[in-house]
Amino acid sequence: MTETAKFRILVTGGAGFIGSHLCDRLVQKGHRLICVDNLYSGKLGNIRALMNHPRFEFIEHDVTEPLAIKGSLHRIYNLACPASPPHYQRDPIATIKTCVLGAHNLLALAHEKHARILQASTSEVYGDPKVHPQPETYVGHVNSIGPRACYDEGKRCAETMFFDYHRRYGVPIKVARIFNTYGPRMLENDGRVVSNFTVQALKGEPLTIYGDGTQTRSFCYVDDLLNGLELLMDSDSEVTGPCNLGNPKEESIKEIARMILRQTNSRSRLEHRPLPQDDPKRRRPAIDRARTLLGWSPRVALKDGLQWTIDYFVLKLFTGRPVSRRIQVTLPGSAVRVALGARSGRMSM
Ligand code: NAD
Ligand code: UDP
């Protein structure tokens, strides 16, 4: 196939936050898409606009079961797996099965179809890291029996299976280790820090800081991540990864709370809650490999990405629905301020 060739691509987890953006983008580029999802943490609403598209097909399916696809298949992005701690801990056995059996079923499909397959792995494979920032050569520090293990160890095992299929059967693999990613379409109740703080700030509720808020994360805007995933998928066949994809700018959780309060003009207060068990204290990707092999680095400043995310939640939370207090927000790319007024207020521009 030439560089401009159009592919038939399977995206598992395609109704989720990252997967639905990926489906949008790949369809727009002219590819034929099959989106597979069991809707555990994904929403049909995320892909509603694609549903009638002639090059898009949705299959409701659990990847822990084998998947039969008729016809050719050139590429698989394996994103199926809940990503937020409350979601993946809600049914830990389903999570580990999704990671491990899902990887097995999709690798078998890739092998059968001679398709290239990309695994959405995670910075969680580094656990609560003792090396900082984390390069791909760091083997990690994971508690194998803690409440995060269903996800962390599941993803580690999936990586193992990817490399074994590659060594044993020559399946062309790409393993991306994704660091904290945020943006529109995160679920308002998914428990992740950016969505939690944004929703709390917009509703005038206290922002729940777990622990003292000095723990750090590095936040990558979803568009930047998608650029990295596509570049990795398109990279030369000898590039297997693992390859960190994330924003190397590190922020404390306290600072994220302050930024969101400022950018939403919210008067919410900060409320400290106990730090969850095994919560990593620091996390920042070393992205030299992605820079060198893919020419990739993130472009979107945190302030801008947060603003676009805040604007998404404003529309989602308040459009056509009554709001209980007055909040002002700035719309993207304009100086327009939106007043979400009083008890019976509706969004006005
Ligand atoms: P998400 O929860 O929004 O999306 C995951 C999707 O997978 C959902 O649509 C869900 O319904 C689907 N799914 C779950 N179990 C399934 C199963 N057994 N069969 C079929 N579909 C199933 O999460 P996301 O943030 O979009 O994450 C996508 C991928 O990226 C995940 O694999 C996650 O581990 C990885 N990742 C995400 C982040 C992040 O910060 N968002 C960080 C590291 C890795
Ligand atoms: N966090 C927090 N308040 C919240 C949600 C999360 O202080 O309401 C903290 C959480 O303890 C962690 C960090 O924010 O230290 C990032 O959490 P998230 O669940 O977004 O991602 P992960 O822990 O998987 O990196």
Indicate which atom in ligand 1 lies nearest the CA of residue 40.
11
> Residue 274 domain-assigned?
no
C-alpha of residue 175 to centroid of ligand 1, in Å: 15
The Cα diameter of the chain in Å comes to: 64
The domain total for the chain is 1
Which pLDDT score is estimated for 267? 97
pLDDT averaged per 10 residues, the chain (length 349): 75 98 98 98 97 97 97 98 96 98 98 98 97 98 97 98 98 98 96 98 98 98 98 97 98 98 98 97 98 98 98 89 40 36 26
* Catalytic hit among 77, 126, 151, 165: 151
Q: Which ligand 2 atom lies nearest to the CA of residue 280?
A: 15
The answer to whether position 262 is within a domain reads no
In a domain, 38, yes or no: yes
Are the CB atoms for 99 and 157 separated by under 8 Å?
A: yes
Instruction: Tell me the CA–centroid distance for residue 193 and ligand 2, in Å.
Output: 5
Instruction: Return the half-sphere exposure (C-beta side, CA atoms, 13 A cut-off) of residue 302.
Output: 19
pLDDT score recorded for residue 158: 98
Tokens of 204: 């005038």
Strand partners, 210: 273
CA angle 217, 43, 120 (to 5 degrees): 45
Under a CB-based contact definition with an 8 Å cutoff, are residues 107 and 34 in contact?
Answer: no
292: exposed, middle or buried (Cβ count in 10 Å: 0-12, 13-18, 19+): exposed
Q: Is residue 87 part of a domain?
A: yes
- Is 151 in the active site? yes
CATH number, domain of 240, equals: 3.40.50.720
CA of 83 to the centre of ligand 1 (A): 5
Atom of ligand 2 nearest to the CA of 194: 20
For residue 56, tell me if it sits in a domain. yes
What is residue 141's DSSP assignment? B
Q: Give the 3-state secondary structure of residue 14.
A: coil
Task: At 181, give phi and psi (nearest 5°).
Answer: -120, 145
Phi and psi of 64, rounded to 5°?
-70, -15
Q: Is residue 97 in some structural domain?
A: yes
Is 194 among the domain residues? no
Residue 41 covered by a domain: yes
pLDDT of residue 319: 81
Q: What are phi and psi of 235, to 5 degrees?
A: -70, 165
Q: pTM (2 decimals)?
A: 0.93
Whole domain around residue 242: which residue ranges? 8-179+220-249+282-300
**Residue spans of beta strands (DSSP E) within the chain:** 8-12, 32-37, 56-60, 75-78, 116-122, 173-178, 181-182, 207-210, 216-218, 220-221, 243-245, 250-252, 270-273, 327-330, 337-340, 347-348
pLDDT value at residue 19? 98
CB-defined site of ligand 1, < 6 Å:
12-13, 15-19, 37-42, 62-64, 79-83, 87, 98, 102, 120, 122, 178, 180-181
Ligand 1 centroid–CA 333 distance in Å is 30
**CA nearest 62: which of 121, 12, 15, 112?**
12
CA angle, 140 as apex, 138 and 146 as ends, to 5°? 170
Tell me, what's the pLDDT at 331?
A: 39
Specify which residues 330 forms β-bridges with.
337
Is residue 163 within 6 Å of ligand 2 at its C-beta?
no
